[in-house]
Each structure stands twice: as structure tokens, then as C-alpha cells.
Amino acid sequence: MASQEYDVIIIGGGITGAGTARDCALRGLRTLLIERHDLAAGATGRNHGLLHSGARYAVTDSESAAECIRENTILRKIASNCVEETDGLFISLPEDDIEYRKTFIESCQRAGIKAEAIDPKDAIRMEPAVNPDIIGAVKVPDASVDPFRLTTANVLDATVHGAEVMTYSEVTGFIEENGRIVGVTVRNHRSGELSEMRSAVTVNAAGIWGHAIAELAGISIGMYPAKGSLLIFGHRVNRMVINRCRKPANADILVPGDVVCVIGTTSTKVPFEDCDDIRVTADEVNLLLEEGCKLAPSISHTRVLRAYAGVRPLVASDEDPTGRSISRGIVLLDHETRDGLPGLITITGGKLTSYRLMAEQATDLVCSKLGNVKKCETALRPLPGSEEEVGISRQSDSLGRKAAGNRHGARVFQMDFADKSEVVCECEHVTRAEIEYAIKFLDVHNLIDLRRRTRIGMGTCQGSFCMLRVATVLAQALGCPEKASEFVRQYVEERWKGLTPVCWGEGIREMEFMRKQYGK
């Protein structure tokens, strides 16, 4: 087995692991990030894309609310290319307790969140899609964020500063010497190769799968796998985030993002063995639609693109059947003090919005063990793509260049539009130049990876018209033209899982067309 040495190994390529890799690399640590699938393939890529103001947690979890508003403010500055400043509304409907609004506003203000009560008529003018029957509304600084773009930017910056990344590589065990964790054994899923990676400290940032990682070291973490199901609609119904002004419940957030919007979420405890193959049920789809129509009635006749689900990495010891009462706060475990096992740290809990703070806390602990005194800079340094204004709004810029600029910010200037400007995905205006950039800089190995980096196949046609062409371009660029059909097969199988729960009406015709198109 090959063997390499690092200062720190981070397990998990979601947003927390990506942020921790960036922070460690910026502080000069020899850093390795290991992910068993693709970046953002777990809960990071399976949420509603809400950049929390913290208002949702203000009444029930004031500490998490305060963390959210601080990180919300930071991310708007350092990740401007990943964030859309939509603002948000918390609405009260006739069946809601209007007195809760007063408690809500007071709780927001104590947490440092600007929450402004507005007249329902003003709310309807600000957000025409909102339910016209509202009896109260509160404006808060919510926003939407692209989790794929955010994760990729963190990993890109980590590699720029010397970090190494291993995707499609699974940690199969820990290396323990004299009662201390000194590294991990890893299996590469593409090659089958086994290797040893050694480090002074290993960080478990695997989300809900951190439970299984800890078990490899012979320790236990009381993880609570809370499944959340969501629906994506075929166009952008609302301009602002719309929330229900009540205690957190099912289907009470409608988030706009890019050209679509997402309703979520449900919350149900699931067995750990189901976490690798989470499916959305018909009952969950019906619940999301029924409750979602109370936020914005027009979604009752809006095309549903697909359904998907993720598992929140909660930590709790109670038996709450929904997980709603569990804190969304950050959990940092030093297994040396907790379990008598030096060399291992776990960072879990939290939310997408608080990932940077989670990474800072984990990196602070790593540095304290290594004697590194360099301070965290991630709250001040812009992420790649957010360093400057892109300036691509000129009439002369092509749709492909503009779309790439929206997705990659200033990094668009590293794409070769002179010779490779042909559009291969019409819905999202993805060009050959952007595909080749993603392969070169963003660790793309197949169509599913490419979808997460460029939004190929996320548009109106869901890849029905472009995927064969995209697969051919991708396979040629990767130097393996014979794999084009295999790329398509993998893509269709992955997308089919999200289409099946919403198969009715015109959706059935669309699915049959895709089946015919790709011979599935």
C-alpha cells in the first residue's frame, strides 16, 4: 500500500469538510480532504439552499440564531458569487396564532436579527406570489445560497493553498499506534487501490456518516438521522424566501434559487442503514404540496421537476420522533478528552449557514494540538470567484459567458470562450469552455459531478435534450470517448430516483419521453 503523511486529514467532502480543508490550508497545514463520493453529494447538496438569517431558530434556539446572523453577514461578503440577497418574509395565516409574531420579533431582536413587522398589503406588493390571505408579515435578512458552488469554491481555495483532495475514496479504517490515531486506510473506488494516509490529527467531518466513521475508531456518537424531503418547481415562483411564522414544522419554507424554487422540508427519523439510499415517499410529496400552497398558492399548478431528500447530521440523546426540538448548534468533540483517544476530532451538527464557523472551531482545535498559532482568516478572505466584480453585463457578452460568470464569478476569465463558446446545454447555457474549465479545476469525473459544478441538466428539460451531447463533449475532454454512454447511464439512473415520486399528469409524458430518449 502507498503511504503519505500530512498534518491533518479531513474525512468528508461536504461543506463542513470543505470549509475545514480551506481553513487548515490557509494556516499552512499540510492538508488532505477525503470524500467517498463526490463533493457535496450528501446533506450539503440536499437542502433548500437557504442562507439563514437565524430567524427560524430565534424562539427555540437563540444560540443557533445568533450564529446564523453573524455567518449570514460574513458569507454575503466572502461568498458573494454564491449568495443571492433575496431577503425573506415570515407570514402568519388565519389559522396561525398572531400573538406568536410578537414573541418571534422580540426573539429575533435579542439574537441580533433585524426583524421588521410590515403590513400584509406591503408584503403582497413586495412578494406577489405570497398567499393573499396573510394576516401578518415580518421581513428578515434571509437569502439563498448555492451549496454546490459554495463547496466547490472552498475546495478550490484549499487546493490553491496546497491542500490535496481525494474524491471517490472511502476511509475503511484508522491506523492506531500506542493508543493514538495516526492515520487512515483508504480505498479508491475507481481504481480499487488501497493506501495509507498518516497525519498528526484526523478530523471527522462526515455529517450523518460521522457516526460510522467514529465506530471505526471504536467510539460512539449519539447521532440522530433526521430525513428531510423537498420538491423543486419548474420555475421561480417567488422572489423572496417565504417562511411560515410559527414554530418550525413541515413544509414551511419556500426558497427561490437561480431559475427555480424549492419547498421544504419534512423531518422524520430514519435508520442509519437507510442513509445511503434516501427515497421520497408519495405521502411526503402530498404533504409538501398541501402545505406549500399555503405559502404561495400558485405552486398548486406549477410543474414539479423532481423530489429529493437529505439527512440532517443532528446530535441528541432524546427520542423526539421528528428531530424538530434538537438544537442546530455546532458540536465539536475532542476524542482525546472525551474518549481517551488522541489524534481524532469530530465536527458535526450546525447548518450550511454556519459551516465557516464550524470549520474555524475545528481548525482552532487542530492548530492547538499542533502548536500552530496562525489565526483564522476565512471571515475576511473572499472565496474564489467572489474576489471582484465580474463585469460581464455588456451587450457583447454571449449568454454562455454571462451564465458562466453568474456561476463562477471572476473565474470566468480562465475559460476559453474564443474557441470553445458553443452551447451544449441550452437550458443553463453551459458551454464547452465551462465544461473544460470544470474538468481542469473542479475535479469532475462524470456527468453527475459536472451537474453539481455547472447546473447541466438542472434546467427545464432536465437533460432530456442535451445529455447525449454533453456526455460526448465530457468524455472527449476527459480523453475517454468510449465512456460517453456509461456517463449517460449513470446520470439517468441517478435522476430517475428524483422523478419517480412526482410522476403524474404531464410528468408521466416527460418521463416516458426520457425513457424513450435514453432507452431506459
pLDDT digits (tens, 9 = 90+) for 414-444: 998 888 899 999 988 999 999 999 999 999 9
Same domain for 435 and 472, yes or no, is yes
Number of Cβ within 10 Å of residue 249's Cβ equals 12
Helix (H) or strand (E) holding 188: strand 180-188
Check whether residue 116 and residue 127 sit in a common domain. yes
Rounded Cα distance, 30 and 32, in Å: 7
Whole-number pLDDT of residue 248: 86
Mind listing the pLDDT tens digit for each residue in 25-62? Answer: 999 999 999 999 999 999 999 999 999 999 999 999 99
The last residue of one of the domains, among 293, 315, 337, is 315
Tell me whether residue 393 is in a domain: no
Residue 232 has phi, psi (to 5 degrees) of -105, 130
Q: Are 34 and 9 in contact (CB under 8 A)?
A: yes
On whether both 216 and 340 belong to a single domain, the answer is yes
Report the alpha-carbon distance of residue 495 to residue 490 in Å, rounded.
Answer: 9
What does the CA dihedral 492, 497, 503, 507 come to, rounded to 10 degrees?
Answer: -30
Spatial distance between the Cα atoms of 369 and 323, rounded to a whole number of angstroms: 34
pLDDT tops 80 at residue 277: yes
Query: Which strands make up the sheet holding 143-145, listed edge to edge?
Result: 50-51, 143-145, 83-84
| Residue 386 within any structural domain of the chain | no
CA-based diameter of the chain, in Å?
A: 68
Note whether residue 333 is domain-resident. Answer: yes
Residue 155 to residue 39: CA distance in whole angstroms? 9
Q: Beta partners for 423?
A: 431
- Are 188 and 291 in a shared domain? no
Residues 425 and 287 in one domain: no
**Is the residue at 388 inside a domain?**
no
**39 vs 449: CA distance, rounded Å:** 8
Is 379 contained in some domain?
no
In a domain, 296, yes or no: yes
Same domain, residue pair 178 and 116: no
pLDDT at 390: 56
Taking alpha carbons only, the member of 14, 44, 40, 75 closest to residue 382 is 75
**N-to-C CA span, the chain:** 40
Q: What percent of the chain clears pLDDT 70, i.e. is strictly above it?
A: 95
Residue-number span of the structural domain to which 403 is assigned: 399-518
Using one digit for the tens of pLDDT, what is the confidence trace for 91-128? 999 999 999 999 999 999 999 999 999 999 999 999 99
Nearest to 44 by CA among 327, 310, 438: 310
Q: What pLDDT is stored for residue 352 in this prediction?
A: 96
Which has the closest alpha carbon to 34: 176, 151, 205, 181?
205
68 located within any domain: no
- Distance in angstroms (rounded) separating the CA atoms of residues 172 and 121: 58
Q: Scanning the structure block, which residue is given the C-alpha cell 489524534?
A: 343
Structural domain count of the chain: 3
The DSSP call for residue 374 is P
Domain shared by 272 and 366, yes or no = no
Residue 516 pLDDT class (50, 70, 90 cuts)? confident
Q: How confident is the model at residue 174 (pLDDT cuts 50, 70, 90)?
A: very high
CB–CB of 215/205 below 8 Å?
Answer: no
Whether residues 25 and 174 fall in one domain: yes
Any domain includes 385: no
Say if residue 217 is in the same domain as residue 231.
Answer: no
What kind and span of H or E run contains 187? strand 180-188
Residues 296 and 427 in one domain: no
Distance in angstroms (rounded) separating the CA atoms of residues 150 and 18: 9
CATH number reported for the structural domain that contains residue 189 in this entry:
3.50.50.60
8-17, 184-193, 279-288, 414-423: segment of lowest average pLDDT: 414-423
How far apart (Å, rounded) are the C-alpha atoms in residues 489 and 463?
A: 12
Residue 461's pLDDT is 81
Q: Do residue 201 and residue 344 come from a single domain?
A: yes
Residue 316 has pLDDT above 80, yes or no: no
Q: What is the pLDDT of residue 3?
A: 65
Looking at the structure, tell me whether residues 230 and 305 fall in a common domain.
Answer: yes
* C-alpha separations of 103 from 31, 106, 107, 119, 315 in Å: 45, 5, 6, 17, 27
Show the cell assigned to 380: 475576511
